[in-house]
Amino acid sequence: MTNVPDSKLGTMYKKHIGFILDKNIEALLDQYTDDALLISSFSKQPVIYKGREKIREHMQGILGIDGLETDIVFWSETEDPVTLMITEQITMTVGGNKSNMRFADSWVLRDGKIAIHFAGMVQYPDGTLA
């Protein structure tokens, strides 16, 4: 993991990636509010997950990840309201196959937890752009 600032949100992001690598879905879900909204473009069509149980469905995809390297290309955070906007260059290994992607993630936090998560794929593993 490179280019993550030494800040409160930087620490939260590092934990977030750590939970993914550890396949610790419960700890990952604990970073979200009970009524959190996650909007994903991973499947090239928008998919909306509302609430912890629906977000759990989305997180099941992390179980196949064998390796994950993130390089932060852009990082912006605010304090009031607490928000995070990042773009990441990702190298992910699933089933022994490496894929390179580019993500754009944005979080809106409430009471120290993610209330809204825009999980955007910018460049898919096949090289196509969102």
Residue 27 falls inside a structural domain = yes
Confidence (pLDDT) at 70: 94
pLDDT at 130: 79
CB atoms within 10 A of CB 49: 20
* Rounded-to-integer distance, Cα 49 and Cα 111, Å: 20
Q: Give the number of domains in the chain.
A: 1
Q: Are strands 65-79 and 82-94 parallel, antiparallel or unpaired?
A: antiparallel
Domain residues for the domain of 73 are 8-123
CATH, residue 78: 3.10.450.50
Task: Print pLDDT tens along the chain (130 aa).
Answer: 899 999 999 999 999 999 999 999 999 999 999 999 999 988 878 899 999 999 998 888 887 888 889 999 999 999 999 999 999 999 988 888 898 999 999 999 999 999 999 998 888 888 888 7
129 within some domain: no
Extended strands (E) in the chain: 32-40, 47-50, 65-79, 82-94, 97-110, 113-123
